[in-house]
Structure 1
């Protein structure tokens, strides 16, 4: 073991291989942040029996029995490119997927969906602001929408669907949550959020699906930047 580091970011290290750690990688909100202490160590790398050496200062480290290594170095050693999207805080290894906003997809039986065709800016209970988003109980086109069901043709063209669900307003203590989303692929239930109490990420696999149906219900539920993935 060579050097004690106080690490406040996994992500910068994994992607950029930097020595200065300034942000903690979190799953959802700042409340999940914590500071950890790790020892940076010399790690030997081999790809198909050939030794590989990262740039100086990009050594991995071991934390609680798990070895962490520089992502960009490993991916490029395997012949894959690495792309970092700072806006969505996403890492892509290999090809970058194409995202199609739900507002731009025609539902079955209509040229547009009266709920998802009218996105707006949404501020959720954490204070975060999202564009291209929707609020159950808010006004969209023809009026306030409480519950909503819509179905789309997929024809195997989509690899997945993703969004965030979150309460728009802070819930009262002891609340069981507010609103929910169900997703069906070819009439089979593949996702059920249950009643939402906190911000959660939705990411479902739609490979091979011919039709996709969404059922959402409640009031005060935010559906944040929903999109299909190609």
Structure 2
């Protein structure tokens, strides 16, 4: 099968078998004809089968090429293309003036319908108030650890609000079910509102990978998170992790 990739498609589409196999292919300006084989039947991330819906993996000269964004986000890492420096950024992007939830900004309101709990993870350690007091690195459902400020909280119909006071431009985070609750069968959702307007709804369900989000919060006065489960009134509960929740200005 003949396959054509020009330079811009190759970069924005997803580069590179080198992410997995240590090899990077070079493309001549204007593109070139190459022969590839679409014989990759399955990809497993942390032993979970998952194939990209677009930009299918292929094999060329014994090297497997897999979408970079697909692999990075499957491992809980943000990925970004910096056109100015011609650089692929994975994970930390060198952002300046970052304020983490729990460090530099604290909640101004916390309400729950059950007498339930809210635990902060500070400096990459979580203090388990209900257990043996052990400290551990926060992990998402795929087992990825986060060393910076994160929060994890639970119980239905819970709302927590943070004051922004028009100081920030963007809110970024990785959000999903924590690793310790990966076998929880309860489903629910997290709604993120800015100044009373719903900006984002994240479905929380068993086996779902964490989601990287970025919201425009320019000139906003407050941001609210509302957590709810799909079995209101039951004894079950839903837990969400907001990993590296950060505001930039």
TM-score normalised over the length of structure 1: 0.52
Cα pair 2:101 2:150 within 8 Å, conserved: no
From 182, 199, 214, the counterpart of 1:203: 214
For residues 57-72 of structure 1, the aligned pairs below 5 Å read none
Q: Determine if contact 1:167/1:178 at 8 Å carries over to the other structure.
A: no
| Corresponding residue SS for 2:204 | coil
- Residue-by-residue CA offset, 1:107-135 (whole Å, 9 max, x unaligned): 3379xxx9464432223332222233333
Q: 1:166 aligns with which of 172, 176, 180?
A: 176
Q: Decide whether aligned partners of structure 1 residues 190 and 134 sit closer, same or farther in structure 2, where only a CA change above 3 A counts.
A: same
Count of equivalent residues = 164
Out of 209, 222, 225, the position equivalent to 1:214 is 225
Partner of 1:153: 163
C-alpha spacing 1:148/1:109, structure 2 compared with 1 (3 Å): closer
Give the deviation of 1:223 after TM superposition: 2.2
Whether the 8 Å CA contact 2:170–2:215 is kept in 1: the answer is yes
Say if 2:193 and 2:223, in contact at 8 Å, map to a contact too: yes
CA deviation vs aligned residue, 1:153-190 (integer Å, no higher than 9, x gap):
22322112122222233347xx5x53422111111111
Distance 1:207 1:219 in 2: 30
SS in 1 for 2:199: strand
Offset, 1:226 = 1.3
Structure 1 unmatched ranges of 5 or more: 22-28, 40-70, 138-144
Match of 2:150 among 130, 133, 138: 133
Cα distance change of structure 1 residues 19 and 125 upon mapping to structure 2, 3 Å threshold: closer
The reply on whether 1:35 has 2:61 as its aligned counterpart is no
1:101 Cα deviation (Å)?
Answer: 0.8
1:50-199 to 2 correspondences below 5 Å: 75=83, 80-81=84-85, 85-86=89-90, 88=91, 90=93, 96-104=95-103, 105-108=105-108, 115=118, 117-119=120-122, 120=126, 121-131=137-147, 132-137=149-154, 148-168=158-178, 169-171=181-183, 175=185, 178-197=187-206, 198-199=208-209
Match for residue 53 of structure 1?
Answer: none
2:102 alignment partner, SS class: helix
